[in-house]
Structure 1
Amino acid sequence: MRVLITAGASGIGYAMGQAFEAAGYDVWVTDVDETALAACPDNWTMRRVDAASESDMSALFAEVSATGPLDVVCANAGVAGPTAKVEDVAWDDWKSCVDVTLGGAFLTAKYAAPIMKTAGAGAIVLTSSTAGVFGYPNRAPYAAAKWGVIGLMKTLAMELGPFGVRANAICPGAVEGPRMEGVLEREAAAKGMSRDAVYEGYAAGTSMKTFVRASDIADMAVFLSSSGAGRVSGQVISVDGHTENPDPKP
């Protein structure tokens, strides 16, 4: 079995690689961070790929299709984008966020679909966000892109289901790690709050009063790709400790 994970050299993507390896998969990961790629396990296949570049993605999937079956693809690439009121968001910042987060998911699906249709089986797991099910103040590009990921997933499930290919989206909540730390710091600055107050607001906005771990997301990705989820498709699965309030307050 083989899995391809975009943005797989760190964070959620890296945790996915670890979880799929433990489940018996050969792991391929892509990333733009060459240093992070170099630190991945030697038995993984690593490629420096920009998920928002069609030429990069076309070349990647040509290599994948020439080297064997592709059982699972995790469209995980995304960027946080700016934290600002909508009127203060620069057009270039909007485009860069949407290009990677939604465009990267589209390109992943575009090139994975023919391989999986030919095989008559496969699972596509897209990383959305709780921002993809709630409006999210001061995060317009990110929220719009993650909503788009869900719309893409629903369409993939309908188009590819007759060929035995399933598609589902995972919506992480606030995930412990360096990326979320950056979000906390930017949001604290935008709202005139302390970093700790923003953190506590995120945690308080869940029924479980906690952040989630990258491994929690990875475990769900493995399940959605397994025979145990063989009739699960077109679904939006939140792994977030039950987010109640997407606008944390002190």
Structure 2
Amino acid sequence: MKRVLITAGASGIGCAMGDAFDAAGFEVWVTDTDRAALDHCPAQWHHRVANATDEAAMASIIAEMGHIDVLCANAGIAGPTALIEDVALEDFRACVSVNLEGAFIAAKHAAPLMKAAGRGAIIVTSSTAGIYGYPNRTPYAAAKWAMIGLTKTLAMELGPFGIRANAICPGAVEGPRMEGVLNREAAAKGMTRDQVYDGYASGTSMRSFVEARDIANMAVFLGSDGARLVSGQVIAVDGHTENPDPKV
């Protein structure tokens, strides 16, 4: 049975990925820092408490798996919403660490197992903030742009071993995390939460937020044999973002 590892897999996009890979017949392994959320994961999933930036913990989990067919480097945090002059350096570093270093660590330790098998797929959860500049989101955008550079480099480096690497760039995803972003952005800009929400939605040609399952469905495709020659790609699942900061 094929195995997938999903970091930050106990809730949100990660949990939706777990459900989708489970339905596709994969053995699902998830890591997360939220023990309570992990306890609510399906019983057939392998779940481990681990911070994506804890290299020793992640290395141990990946070694325990024995083989890994698909890695979903999904862990991330939103970071502060503020003008650059108001962003504390420690907050910048924390955001970059979880998003970028977390993906690097997981890929670093998954790659040898994939090389031994002569196949594998690495899927990095970036963001449309990794395609466009996002005002008031300096740490997050910087991290997500860097994750795309990481993905494209992995595709070049690991392709000769039969390993593919792609980045998914979600747009605004319905859920608690985005609600926090909306409320912080509203406070920073002197707007209401609904005004910011409408601005994000109207900035897409589909006039819609994204659901976690939309990201999960793309991840399953990228992890499948149907995507055997899809590598080094940056794929937005965002309802087509025309303007990342519309009417705001």
TM norm structure 1: 0.98
| Distance across 2 between alignment mates of 1:192 and 1:107 | 39
> 1:176 matched to which residue of 2?
174
CA contact 1:197–1:249 (8 Å) conserved in 2? no
C-alpha deviation, 1:61, in angstroms: 1.6
- Aligned-residue Cα RMSD (Å) equals 0.7
C-alpha deviation, 1:174, in angstroms: 0.3
The one-letter code matched in structure 2 to 1:62 is A
The one-letter code matched in structure 2 to 1:35 is A
C-alpha deviation, 1:176, in angstroms: 0.5
Q: Identify which of 92, 99, 102 aligns with 1:101.
A: 99
State the SS of the aligned residue for 2:103. helix
The one-letter code matched in structure 2 to 1:45 is H
Deviations 1:186-244 (CA, angstroms, capped at 9, x unpaired): 00000000000000000000000000100000000000111111100000000000001
Q: Identify which of 174, 187, 192 aligns with 1:189.
A: 187
Runs ≥4 in structure 1, deviation > 6 angstroms?
none
Deviations 1:128-170 (CA, angstroms, capped at 9, x unpaired): 0000000100000000000011000000000000000000000
Structure 1 stretches lacking a partner, 5+ long: none
2:59 paired with 1:61: no
C-alpha deviation, 1:247, in angstroms: 1.1
C-alpha deviation, 1:249, in angstroms: 2.6
C-alpha deviation, 1:54, in angstroms: 1.3
TM norm structure 2: 0.98
Instruction: Report how many aligned residue pairs link the two structures.
Output: 247
C-alpha deviation, 1:88, in angstroms: 0.6
The one-letter code matched in structure 2 to 1:229 is A
Q: Identify which of 111, 114, 121 aligns with 1:113.
A: 111
Q: Describe how 1:107-186 pairs up with structure 2 within 5 A.
A: 107-186=105-184
| Distance across 1 between alignment mates of 2:25 and 2:60 | 26
> 2:36 matched to which residue of 1?
35
> 1:23 matched to which residue of 2?
24
Deviations 1:111-133 (CA, angstroms, capped at 9, x unpaired): 01011011100000000000000
Q: Which moved more, 1:85-94 or 1:50-59?
A: 50-59
| Distance across 2 between alignment mates of 1:169 and 1:24 | 22
> 2:236 matched to which residue of 1?
238
| Distance across 2 between alignment mates of 1:70 and 1:227 | 15
C-alpha deviation, 1:60, in angstroms: 1.5
